[in-house]
Structure 1
Amino acid sequence: MSFGSIPSNQPFTFNVNFGAPPPFPARGSSQTFNLRPPALCDDCSTLDLETAFARANTLYEQARRGNNIRRLVTCCSKNGTTYLRDFYFVTSLNSRLSEQRSCKLCDFLKEHVGDPSKGTYKLLVICSSETTLFEAPRKSVRGQWIHRPWDNLEYNVFLAVVPEVEGIPRTGVPLRWLETELPQKGSIYRLTKDLREEEGMRLVLPQELEPKVDLVQADYWLSTCQKLHKPCCAPRKPEGATLRGFRAINCFESPINVEEGPYKIEELSWSEKYVALSYVWGPSTEKWPQTVRDAVAVTRMLGEKYLWVDRVCINQSDLEEKMFLVSKMDAIYEGAEFTIVNAAGDARTGLPGVGKTPRASQHRVELDISKRRSVQSGHSEDAYLELFNVPKTEYEVETEGHSMWLDTYRHGLNGTTMQLGLDELMSLGNSRGRAEKYGIPQDHLDYHESTAEHYNTPFDEYMEKQQELAHRIGITLPELVPYLYRQAAKKAGIPIADDEPLPPVDTTQHVTNPRKTERPLPPGLIPGKTVLVSTMQEPRMTIRKSQWATRGWTYQEGVLSNRCLVFTGEQMYWECRGMAVNESIRLPLPSLHLQSESVKHYYHFADYMLSGIFRGDMHRVPELQYGFQPEDTNNLAKEIETINGHIRGFTSRNLTDPGDSLNAFLGVSSSISKKDGLSLMLGIPVWAGPFADGQPGLQHTFALSISIWFHLGKLIEAKSELFVANCHRRSQYPSWSWIGWEGRVDFNGDNNDYNEPHEVDEDNYGGDNFHIDFFTAMMKTEWVKSINRIWSAEMILHSEDRKDSTLLYGSVSIEGFADHSKKWLLTIQEPLVLKHMHLMHSSNDWEWKRLMGKLATLRLSTPFTEEELTRGHKSGDMVTVLMFASTVSFVWDGRARFLILRQVDGVERRWERIGSLVLTIEEWVMGKYKNSQDMIKDLPVIRFRDNIVIV
């Protein structure tokens, strides 16, 4: 019997007995299998999703114009739960996703939650501009909504499966859920027809994926980058530069249809165009594994001739040539047209969707449009039912006693002190002066400031135009706002008599022009059907969880590449220095680009667009990184932040060979700007140039950088300030640098609660950012005086045989000083060490312990108890040496930073770094010091008998 002869209304029955159900129907089975897709359950059959999408679109479009009460606000419930409201409510799913139902919609929705058995869920329709792809709407530091220049774009809406949480109304989602949970499983979009009049104007459209990757889409991304992002994304090759030993696969002369190759490898000038490959080799023993073969095919199909693959293009038998090219990884990856990244396995896996390797299918469901259509928008007597699909009385009950919550991010309060220049900070407190200068009331000033910011016009320039406008009308400037208000009221058909008082001046920023014609959503792709597709897991998350993202060697390959075409197990992802996009969604790319203010002829994604993940480990939940601004090499503090991010990211990865901890980071080190003295010295960032006050920076910055890094560790007890990690030493490298250890490194003094030594508690990530703030203060003329007490140890860096050495002081040139093949030791001259390590309980209940009257924080790279530390210092096997002390940037507290050392077994007078100690000097104490020496005299330190040599 053929399948074609089965009656469409009859199940197909097989007759054979199995002890357990087989995965597929077998000939002769006695079980009954219905080959038709499951129908809808009773609950899902009553849903009218087309009406829900249409109503939600009306809600959001009218809100954009300021024509309804909907506001995306942050609230706090009576039980303290914080959430966002208001979104369009479709229905409560209750616990149906945890039940076994023969329902294709339930099955589809289950794919969009982590564990259907945990809790209950609801369906909301959300505006496409409020997904994690775009930064949440936020206010400036003046409290005015920041204007976005994509007013004319048409929005879309998507469906989301949201957990039901006690205290959160039906129209709400947990705070940060859009940024943290939604990307895990993806959004649900309705497939629609492409309308010519909307081409490139709808935000966002879903893309239905085929089993094979769409390389036409990849070519479009590449061409968009080539046209808009010059020069920031172009290959970085100095004119006339050469690279000895450079070879690549000639993809056009290689028989890519032959399974095992061979592929032709040619020596070529580095000036030639080429594509690079980044992947995990793994246990493969093939010379031409599937990933390489697929990369050849992709390179060829995208019209490029040469492909560079490290394993086959570097002569592995020539050690000198190999080490030379390893040291030039920054040049190789920065010089590529783009880099193909395999984030779906190792060399054996292949690129999903290219050759033999399949990719995961996109979740999709096709529904008949309900014949029992809901009442269309505009006919409900209950405005809340109309807006949010929740009756007003129920809405009020659910939100009773809830208050607006100060969401610092959306109110522009995160990091404002460090982000604003001094002039802007001064102007924040100068509102009265501005009002008096122009002779206008405060509410008129608010209106003018808001309007000037809306049109991105300097305030004084804007006010000159307003004065001219008032003059031409024949009125004074204070009369202008009331005049405009009355004119607007007259045009709206509700004139206000001259003797009637005006309502308060409205400074609300409409997202779009209220007079803009509202367009409905495009019609469905298939007449009579609603086709829903998933955008699937956000590729940035997929990449972060991949094997590729665990390997140390691949870190710099992603960081150094100007353009990356990434293959995950589900879809393609593109990231360059100007944009980041993926295959499952379509964005109006030209409309989302802005012209750079600092780089001529350079366009990039706007600041509110979710940025990439290859520029360093700085995506921190809940505050994701947004924007694609060109690199500011004149901002030293920003470069220190970037370096710290690189070290965090690199040290979180694994290396098969511990000896590669420096080699695998050389490309990043080489790419760091050395302008005016910034460089990495065996992984430690230093500044050999002068500070803003003319003082030399080498000694201070080196002492700070080696004493501020630490390994993430566990608390020894609740509320303690002793953190203990269990990291292994790499004895071929110095212990005073992070390259001499395995384990995740950080620089931030408030990273406290970690469940595992190498896992960041993202929700509690914070801290004082002392490393960055110090460079900011010392490099800016207006801030340098905020560091009025500073001291650092005198140090000599030298090779083990002492044939090479340098005093780390003044403006000594250290570029290229350290030969990586030698062991480098650090000698502290006339060191000051801690008198003892007796920690005493504080009289304050909220504090842990103090060390000789000062608050103490200890971070250890190897396991030691407090008692062992005390005994070790008493016996002389351990010592804690002072490295750096100063006031805290922009604060009047102080910090004294020490290295905790232990004597190396069998080696006389040599020490190994095992941790760090920070003592806090309170402001009232700092105020007593006349100079830096007073600060040092007040610390619990004594002069050590000998110089200290740290291995």
Structure 2
Amino acid sequence: MATDVLLQRLRRSFVPSASSRRARHGKSLSLSVTSPSVASYPLSPLPMPRRCETCRNLDLWRDTERLPGHTLATLVDGVRLAQLGTAPDDSDCDLCQILRRLHVDSDDTRSGFHTLELRAFPLVPHIAWWAHRRNLWNGDKQYIFEPDDLTDFFLAVVPSDFTHAGDKDKSRLEKLISEQGLVMWHREIQRNTRLFSPRVVTATFDRQVVIEWLNCCKERHPGCHCGLGASPNLKLIDCFSQKVVAVDSPGAEEAPPYVALSYVWGKSNSAFAEPAVTDLMLSKKVPQVVQDSMKVTMALGFRYLWVDRYCIDQQDGAGRNEQIMHMDLIYQTAALTIIAAAGEDESFGLPGVSTKRSSRQDRLLHERFNLTSSLPSPRRSILRSRWATRGWTYQEAVLSSRRLVFTPEQLYFECGSMSCSESLNVSHEELLRKRRPHLDAFVSRSLLGSEYLSPSHHLASVPRHPSDHGTTRLFLAYTQCAEEYSRRHLGFDEDALDAFSGIIRRLECVGSFPVHHVWGVPAFIPSSSSPKIARPTHTSDGGVNHTALFLAALSWRHELHKPIRRRRCFPSWSWIGWEGSAVWPRPSDVHSFGDPERGVAASVQLCLEDGTTRPLLDVDFGGPAQYSSQPKALLLHTTALPRTAFVPSDSGQHMRLENGASLRLYPSKEGMDASKAFRGIQSGRYEAVRLGAVDDDAYLMLVKWSGSSWTRIGLLTVNKFHLTYDGLLTAKSFKIK
């Protein structure tokens, strides 16, 4: 009844007065046709809104009813609906409040005076453009929009000289939509044929929305769930009995369907004191996020929930390590992973479950059309969450087959084939009925996954050079994940490798050419257990230069002007040995990796704990001894730039050679610049050790003498042509820890 009263009031607010009807046939027009802004909850009778004079004179129905008649060419820069003059600023006017949120930030560099205009933009073409990050207005025949694609619009307030020809204008419009959401215009008669439509987000968790997403994935995406079998010694929470139960995994092909939880632990270490004892009732002090996740698990028709705090015995070191080794299986075989991307830690809970979501969703209702907000992008909220800053949660999300994210405003779902926001409904039936390739990237784009680690993705099936065993794509897969992970933080330095081990394990199992690691640095060397590829007998084997690949993997650098901190429990030459954002070279193909110098064959040896050394190519990564967890020192037989090759450098990030070359310095040592690096090299305390080349760039590790060995303190890059001068480089060996 309350809703009916409200709708009647809203519709009456769109009915023109007698004087307004006369104005259609004569002189001026003064018509109030806008509706109040309505919060999506609670929906109760509201008093008629107060409107300023400008908003009272807007006739949205008259101005918008002609929108579907436009062609794409006339819609590029939007259709002007009204000239607003200055920014809407009446705090008591409900429509002014909406228009203010639709205002694209002005450009201070614009010349002259420009008024503001309310414009309507075609929804589907803009969605296609955002997904492809390219201009779709230049007649590209790959993108042919159907008439049905030009029936829905979104509104924005832009300067009068706004144009899509300007990149700044396009980026500002995209920023507005990310921060405020789309305010979509649509006709009610199109309800059954629309690709995209706004959905009203309720104050509480709507399980039906999630069930629809899950059913769509199960029915149409067979590759999203491979069923790899149960993880050994798996324990789960029985949400009905609230006990931790053991899964009889020995010999079992699959675990019972279960949901996994990814969340941020609290600052207290009390969680480590709770052993995962089977058939033991959960304590009364269960964190709110776990309580809420149990409710969601049961609401979606599941019984079991996996939570690391209860399902991994934190006091059993061996058992804990075993579960960490199988973290990829735990998350990939979960039917769904709940991600708590709201609040600071486990005490906050899931929005909409134990607490109501408080976001405001603007709506203007009319008997012929509606204006509805899609809310700010959940992707933006996820990326800004504390959950997205934590190290452990990275692999938990990437390794999952299906992800359900709880943000403060709405739900977000992602699998290997599609992504969905609760406030923006996507008609997958309509997409199946009529294929629209230009929308594939938008529907399937992933925020939390990796194209290389998707269960349905197989590196072995990717076309490549006959001599390339997928190494280039594996190199990119590994380093892309490592780059994203390196931007996150951990509570304990010693967890740095464990929190990435699931990613490594997954990459070891894909493609025909396995990737192993030495303290987190990828080593692309077949093991004795790899039947498809013979063990290498030389530095270069079958077109793949194994040593050059490892040297390229050592050629990581820290991003400039980002905080860096040393993790002394790991080697300095490994990116794991540092907290800070790391970046790797981007090879174009397997032939991009080069030797340190023509005629000089570099070699890499591992210095073992007993004082002996072993060539990297002789290490059997598939054997019983896992050298990735033992040797902390590398012995590099390579070349280095002598101190006489350098000339004085000013402070900054560029060093100079006497042959005119300029080297870019990427320090890992706080306070390091080019002048300090030059003085260190001249004193003999520093050395520039040649690693290798990727495409046209050569990489040199900057190391510092530490008494008995060298320590990495930075990276230098230079065009490899400048290092080909005869006699420039000197052959040397370096023991680096």
TM-score range, shorter chain: 0.7 to 0.9
Aligned to 1:202, the other structure's residue is in SS state coil
Match of 2:40 in 1: none
1:837–1:870 contact (8 Å) kept in structure 2: no
Match of 1:546 in 2: 385
Seen in structure 2, the aligned counterparts of structure 1 residues 325 and 921 have a Cα distance that, compared at 3 Å, is: closer
CA drift of 1:207 comes to 0.6
Q: Give the whole-Å Cα distance in 1 for the aligned partners of 2:596 and 2:636.
A: 24
CA drift of 1:143 comes to 7.9
Match of 1:713 in 2: 560
Ranked by relative contact order (alpha carbons within 8 Å, sequence separation 6 or more), the top structure is 1
Aligned to 2:496, the other structure's residue is in SS state helix
1:699–1:795 contact (8 Å) kept in structure 2: yes
CA drift of 1:788 comes to 11
CA drift of 1:54 comes to 2.4
Q: Does 1:264 align with 2:243?
A: yes
Seen in structure 2, the aligned counterparts of structure 1 residues 900 and 787 have a Cα distance that, compared at 3 Å, is: closer
CA deviation digits over 1:394-438, x for unaligned, max 9?
Answer: xxxxxxxxxxxxxxxxxxxxxxxxxxxxxxxxxxxxxxxxxxxxx
1:607–1:629 contact (8 Å) kept in structure 2: no
Q: Does 1:233 align with 2:21?
A: no
Match of 2:334 in 1: 336
1:61-100 alignment runs, 5 A limit: 62-63=71-72, 69-70=73-74, 85-97=76-88, 99-100=89-90
Letter in 2 for 1:644: T
Q: Give the whole-Å Cα distance in 1 for the aligned partners of 2:660 and 2:61.
A: 68
Aligned to 1:676, the other structure's residue is in SS state coil
Seen in structure 2, the aligned counterparts of structure 1 residues 155 and 301 have a Cα distance that, compared at 3 Å, is: farther
Seen in structure 2, the aligned counterparts of structure 1 residues 167 and 290 have a Cα distance that, compared at 3 Å, is: closer
Letter in 2 for 1:268: V
CA drift of 1:111 comes to 3.3
1:204–1:585 contact (8 Å) kept in structure 2: yes
Q: Does 1:223 align with 2:70?
A: no
Q: Give the whole-Å Cα distance in 2 for the aligned partners of 1:171 and 1:731.
A: 49
Alignment partner of 2:662 out of 855, 875, 882: 855
Match of 2:265 in 1: 281
Alignment partner of 2:569 out of 724, 732, 735: 732
Letter in 1 for 2:338: I
Match of 1:202 in 2: 194
Q: Give the whole-Å Cα distance in 2 for the aligned partners of 1:692 and 1:827.
A: 19
Q: Does 1:290 align with 2:280?
A: no
Q: Give the whole-Å Cα distance in 2 for the aligned partners of 1:120 and 1:283.
A: 51
Alignment partner of 2:50 out of 29, 36, 39: 39
CA drift of 1:331 comes to 1.0
Match of 1:247 in 2: 235
1:282–1:347 contact (8 Å) kept in structure 2: yes
Aligned to 1:135, the other structure's residue is in SS state helix
Any unmatched runs of 5+ in structure 1? 1-7, 9-34, 64-68, 73-84, 255-262, 368-523, 597-602, 619-626, 715-724, 749-768, 779-783, 889-893, 926-934
Seen in structure 2, the aligned counterparts of structure 1 residues 830 and 534 have a Cα distance that, compared at 3 Å, is: closer
Q: Does 1:797 align with 2:610?
A: no
TM-score normalised according to structure 2 size: 0.78
2:259–2:334 contact (8 Å) kept in structure 1: yes
CA drift of 1:546 comes to 0.7
Q: Give the whole-Å Cα distance in 1 for the aligned partners of 2:426 and 2:205.
A: 18
2:104–2:158 contact (8 Å) kept in structure 1: no
Alignment partner of 1:825 out of 633, 637, 653: 633
Seen in structure 2, the aligned counterparts of structure 1 residues 841 and 551 have a Cα distance that, compared at 3 Å, is: closer
Match of 2:30 in 1: none
Aligned to 1:57, the other structure's residue is in SS state helix
1:166-205 alignment runs, 5 A limit: 168=163, 174-190=169-185, 193=188, 199=192, 201-205=193-197
CA drift of 1:167 comes to 7.0
Match of 1:104 in 2: 94
- Percent pairwise identity: 28
Alignment partner of 2:400 out of 548, 561, 565: 561
Seen in structure 2, the aligned counterparts of structure 1 residues 851 and 919 have a Cα distance that, compared at 3 Å, is: farther
Q: Does 1:348 align with 2:347?
A: yes
Aligned to 1:359, the other structure's residue is in SS state coil
Seen in structure 2, the aligned counterparts of structure 1 residues 919 and 123 have a Cα distance that, compared at 3 Å, is: same
CA deviation digits over 1:880-927, x for unaligned, max 9?
Answer: 1112147x2xxxxx43321100112xx32x0111111122144xx7xx
Match of 1:124 in 2: 119
Aligned to 2:554, the other structure's residue is in SS state helix
Alignment partner of 1:54 out of 56, 65, 68: 65
Q: Give the whole-Å Cα distance in 1 for the aligned partners of 2:726 and 2:171.
A: 46
CA drift of 1:561 comes to 0.3
Match of 1:76 in 2: none
Q: Give the whole-Å Cα distance in 1 for the aligned partners of 2:180 and 2:394.
A: 25
CA drift of 1:179 comes to 3.9
Seen in structure 2, the aligned counterparts of structure 1 residues 567 and 732 have a Cα distance that, compared at 3 Å, is: same
Q: Would you say how many aligned residue pairs link Structure 1 and Structure 2?
A: 639
Seen in structure 2, the aligned counterparts of structure 1 residues 93 and 652 have a Cα distance that, compared at 3 Å, is: farther
Match of 1:948 in 2: 734
CA deviation digits over 1:14-58, x for unaligned, max 9?
Answer: xxxxxxxxxxxxxxxxxxxxx846412111112122233322222
1:888-899 alignment runs, 5 A limit: 888=695, 894-899=696-701
Match of 2:5 in 1: none
Match of 1:865 in 2: 673
Q: Does 1:912 align with 2:711?
A: yes
Q: Does 1:938 align with 2:737?
A: no
Aligned to 1:665, the other structure's residue is in SS state helix
Q: Give the whole-Å Cα distance in 1 for the aligned partners of 2:456 and 2:231.
A: 30
Q: Does 1:642 align with 2:632?
A: no
1:688–1:697 contact (8 Å) kept in structure 2: no
CA drift of 1:280 comes to 0.7
Seen in structure 2, the aligned counterparts of structure 1 residues 936 and 365 have a Cα distance that, compared at 3 Å, is: closer
Aligned to 1:675, the other structure's residue is in SS state coil
CA drift of 1:941 comes to 1.9
Q: Give the whole-Å Cα distance in 2 for the aligned partners of 1:711 and 1:937.
A: 28
Q: Give the whole-Å Cα distance in 1 for the aligned partners of 2:422 and 2:107.
A: 31
Match of 1:781 in 2: none
1:316-335 alignment runs, 5 A limit: 316-335=314-333
2:693–2:720 contact (8 Å) kept in structure 1: no
TM-score normalised according to structure 1 size: 0.61
Instruction: Give the greater-gyration-radius structure (CA).
Output: 1
Q: Does 1:741 align with 2:583?
A: no
Alignment partner of 2:309 out of 305, 308, 311: 311
Alignment partner of 2:300 out of 289, 299, 302: 302
Q: Give the whole-Å Cα distance in 2 for the aligned partners of 1:109 and 1:629.
A: 44
1:559–1:616 contact (8 Å) kept in structure 2: yes
CA drift of 1:633 comes to 4.0
Any unmatched runs of 5+ in structure 2? 1-8, 10-45, 109-113, 271-283, 463-469, 527-535
Letter in 1 for 2:311: C
Match of 1:451 in 2: none
Q: Give the whole-Å Cα distance in 2 for the aligned partners of 1:347 and 1:127.
A: 42
1:95–1:120 contact (8 Å) kept in structure 2: yes
Aligned to 2:513, the other structure's residue is in SS state helix
Q: Give the whole-Å Cα distance in 1 for the aligned partners of 2:167 and 2:649.
A: 46
Seen in structure 2, the aligned counterparts of structure 1 residues 364 and 117 have a Cα distance that, compared at 3 Å, is: farther
Q: Give the whole-Å Cα distance in 2 for the aligned partners of 1:292 and 1:743.
A: 31
Match of 2:12 in 1: none
Match of 1:357 in 2: 355
Deviates more, 1:671-680 or 1:108-117: 108-117
Q: Give the whole-Å Cα distance in 2 for the aligned partners of 1:776 and 1:45.
A: 67
Q: Give the whole-Å Cα distance in 1 for the aligned partners of 2:720 and 2:377.
A: 45
Q: Give the whole-Å Cα distance in 2 for the aligned partners of 1:172 and 1:940.
A: 46
Q: Give the whole-Å Cα distance in 1 for the aligned partners of 2:385 and 2:93.
A: 32
Q: Give the whole-Å Cα distance in 2 for the aligned partners of 1:245 and 1:833.
A: 53
2:656–2:662 contact (8 Å) kept in structure 1: yes
Letter in 2 for 1:309: V
Aligned to 1:540, the other structure's residue is in SS state helix
CA drift of 1:742 comes to 0.7
CA drift of 1:107 comes to 1.1
Q: Give the whole-Å Cα distance in 1 for the aligned partners of 2:445 and 2:92.
A: 41
2:106–2:159 contact (8 Å) kept in structure 1: no
